[in-house]
Amino acid sequence: MSKIIIPFFLLLFFSLQIQCSSPKESSPQAISASIWPIASLLKDIVGDKIPVHCILPEGSSPHTFEPTFEQIAKMRNIRLHFKIGKGLDDWIDKLVNQSKNKPEVITLAEGFPLIKTTFGCDHDHDHHHHDHGIEDPHIWLDPEIVLTKIIPTISIALEKRFPKWKEYFQENREKLEKEIEEADKKVAELLRPLKKRKIVTIHSAFIYFARRYNLEMVAVLEPWPDKELTARYLQRIIKIMKTHSCNVIFEELQSKRGPKFLERDEGFKLSSPPLDPMGGPQNSAKSKYSHLLLYNAQIFRKFLE
């Protein structure tokens, strides 16, 4: 219990410090996103008109992230925040509630059907006594969802709060949409010829990507990023991989590495470089949303060819 109380108390203390040390601030004008891919879309739409912050630090997993002083400081000038929702980035709620400027929060994974997964059920599917399936939050890795759901939601929110730049935003949005449409076509071309289409990943981030490009995610090694794998679950994965003739486990940059014995004893391959569902501002190959799609498509192609 004390593990939870102490950081919360410290966060509160620090936010009070901020409030005391900056008595007269102009109204907050920056916007933010929980994760980099959404921040990248925001940057492309608002250009140089509004500062954009990404709250999750590069290289961190949103599933296991604990906010620190750095994120509290980042929130203090935010007027509008875009979260994914569905359990991916609930830590943002605590930051928003503590923030003096009380940013508005827009949740993106709402208002359309999400993929329900049953990965991680540690039993065979011969009984269905409870409601199966958890809504998967990794919606941004399907560019069609980005084009038809995420960008329209972002645009409406921005135009409402910053009406003086409406036309400028719309011009940028059109450019961005073209770029994403082109990347989508390129990814489809890269992946279309592949004979192997069944994939096994450490984490479920690419489930929407898989659906978009006709890949089939048959197993996920780490369905709960914060829990340890059981030996029984691992045995099931091995069986599924053999049944579907999958020889590669796709690792992800922000997740734990795959267990080495799967390479050593079972003859499976762990993908290196790993997939990256997040990207970030540091590496130009992954700093723009459209580049991030292509980056990951190349990795799938490399290991499924």
CB of 281 to Zn ion, least distance (A): 19
Residues 6+ apart with CB under 8 A from 87: 137
**Peptide bond just before 273 cis, omega within 30 deg:** yes
Compare residues 205 and 249 and give the one whose CB is closer to Zn ion: 205
Which of the residues 110 through 139 are near Zn ion (CB under 5 A)?
A: none
Compare residues 205 and 297 and give the one whose CB is closer to Zn ion: 205
Compare residues 39 and 205 and give the one whose CB is closer to Zn ion: 205
Tokens of 292: 């991030």
Compare residues 103 and 137 and give the one whose CB is closer to Zn ion: 137
Q: Name residue, tokens 């620190």.
A: 68
CB of 257 to Zn ion, least distance (A): 16
Which residue type, as a one-letter code, is found at position 13?
Answer: F
Compare residues 109 and 205 and give the one whose CB is closer to Zn ion: 205
Alpha-carbon gap, residue 73 to 99, rounded angstroms: 9
Other beta carbons within 10 Å of 51? 13
Nearest residue to Zn ion, scored by beta-carbon proximity: 205
Which of the residues 188 through 227 are near Zn ion (CB under 5 A)?
A: 205
Decide if 140 contacts 146 (C-beta within 8 A). Answer: yes
CB of 79 to Zn ion, least distance (A): 27
Decide if 224 contacts 246 (C-beta within 8 A). Answer: no
Phi, psi of 79 (to 5 degrees): -100, -35
CB of 184 to Zn ion, least distance (A): 21
Phi, psi of 117 (to 5 degrees): -115, 155
Compare residues 143 and 277 and give the one whose CB is closer to Zn ion: 277
CB of 225 to Zn ion, least distance (A): 7
Phi, psi of 110 (to 5 degrees): -140, 150
Kindly state whether residue 56 participates in binding Zn ion, applying the rule CB under 5 A: no
CB of 171 to Zn ion, least distance (A): 33
For residues 149 to 188, the per-residue mask of contacts with Zn ion, x marking binding by CB under 5 A and - elsewhere, is ----------------------------------------
Which residues contact Zn ion by CB under 5 A?
A: 205
